[in-house]
Structure formats: structure tokens, C-alpha cells
Amino acid sequence: MTNEKHLSHKQSRPFQPTKLSKPRNFVIPEILTNKQKSSPPIVIEIGAGKGMHALSFAKQNPDKHLIAIERTRNKFEAFSKIADTQQLANLTPVHADAIAWIVQAIAPNSISQIYLLYPNPEQHNPNQQWLNMPFFEFLLSRLQTGGKIVLATNIEQYMANAQEQAGTLWCLPNTRAEVPANSQRTHFEIKYLARKETCWQLTMVKPKGYQTRFDTWQVS
């Protein structure tokens, strides 16, 4: 593990990857075992729901490979049914809890972009917000230098906290923008914008030389 003095962020409580067990029926997707230099940039979506964004992203970005993770069975089944009919070679739908799955499957410094679209946790439980979790440090360790994390929400307080945490706790350059009213990336986005709610997006970038405790950590 990296010497704590050299950490690029201010999160004191470390995430404990060894405490998580392997997800049931865990298999590493072929795209992650491909050691060839020509393998495409890997993008991860956490909480993909019924896969609306995942399917359109994969179609629009044939040069990238998207791993889209959803833990709720009925949503994942709806997603995987459509994914099966569309047979997109650059899309891997995964039915799992993203935290346990990423710990098992993803190597450090290997992901070019991560999407967290409308996570909407229970509002009274701030511990469930992604940027409040010790796991966020682990997630940053999986991202390549210059890699981006894109978070969208319709909850103003969630966005305000996320932006504060991105800057002061995680020390990440970030930009906040309003999602255009005609955007249609996900089912939740369509629903909120149809109700004339404002949706926001926070884009965070991993700077060069960013150090976490997990930069060389991998399951043995």
C-alpha cells in the first residue's frame, strides 16, 4: 500500500477490500483477460438499471468496451434480455453488486471512464452516497490518469455534497453542469426532465500523479 503521507486525498478511513466476498457465479469477462496492446478503452457503468444508457453508449462508441453493472435482479433481467437481442460485442452486462465485483475484477489504473447515473440512495443515509464512501478511493485507484467519473442526479443536495467532496476530500478537478432538458440517456433522466426537474452532472478527472492506498492492490 502507498505510504499514507503521499496520498493525494484527505480520506482517513481506508476501504477494506479483503472483507468483501466474491460475488456469486463470479467470472472475469473475456475483455479483461485480453492482454493484447490493442484492447479498447474500458468504461464502467455502475447502477445501469434496465440498460438504456449502456445500450446506446455501446452503439455510439464502437471503439470502447462498456461493462454495465446492475444489482437488482428484475432490472438486470430486462437489460440482459435486450442486450441479448442486440448482440453488441463491446457491451458486457454484469449482474452483481458493483463494489464486490469491481474489487474482484478490475486491475489498478485500467479504466478510462466511470458512469454513476442517478444513483438516488435513501436520502437520509448520506453513507450511501458514492463520494462519501471509503470505496470511492478504491474506485479512483482503478481509473487511469486523465480518466473521468461522471455522476448525474436530480437531487440538489446530493449534487452539492458530491461537488464539495470531490474538491475538498478527494482533491479532484471537477466541473458541474446542468443536464440539457432534451437529454434522454436513462429512464430516470427522462422521467425527471419530463417533470421539469433540474438534473445536474458532475465530471471529475483523475490528475497525473494521483496516489491512493490501492494503486498496486489486486486480488490474489
Ligand X SMILES: C[S@@+](CC[C@H](N)C(=O)[O-])C[C@H]1O[C@@H](n2cnc3c(N)ncnc32)[C@H](O)[C@@H]1O
Q: Give the binding range for ligand X (CB under 6 A) out of 5-13, 22-30, 186-194, 208-216.
A: 186-194
Taking the least distance from each CB to ligand X, the nearer of 49 and 147 is: 49
> Beta-carbon neighbour count of residue 24 at 10 Å?
8
Q: How many residues bind ligand X (CB under 6 A)?
A: 20
Q: Which residue is nearest to ligand X (CB)?
A: 47
Nearer to ligand X, 2 or 119 (CB): 119
Any idea which residue has 481509473 for its cell? 143
CA–CA separation, 80 and 158 (whole Å)? 29
Q: Verify binding: residue 176, ligand X, rule CB under 6 A.
A: no
**Residue 218: helix, strand or coil by DSSP?**
coil
DSSP 8-state secondary structure symbol assigned to residue 185:
S
Residue given cell 446492475 in the structure block:
70
Three-state DSSP at 113 gives strand
Binding mask 32-71 for ligand X (x = CB under 6 A): --------------xxxx-------------------xxx
Q: Which three cell numbers stand for residue 147?
A: 480518466
- Contact between 120 and ligand X (CB under 6 A)? yes
The residues binding ligand X (CB under 6 A) are: 46-49, 69-72, 75, 97-99, 117-120, 186-189
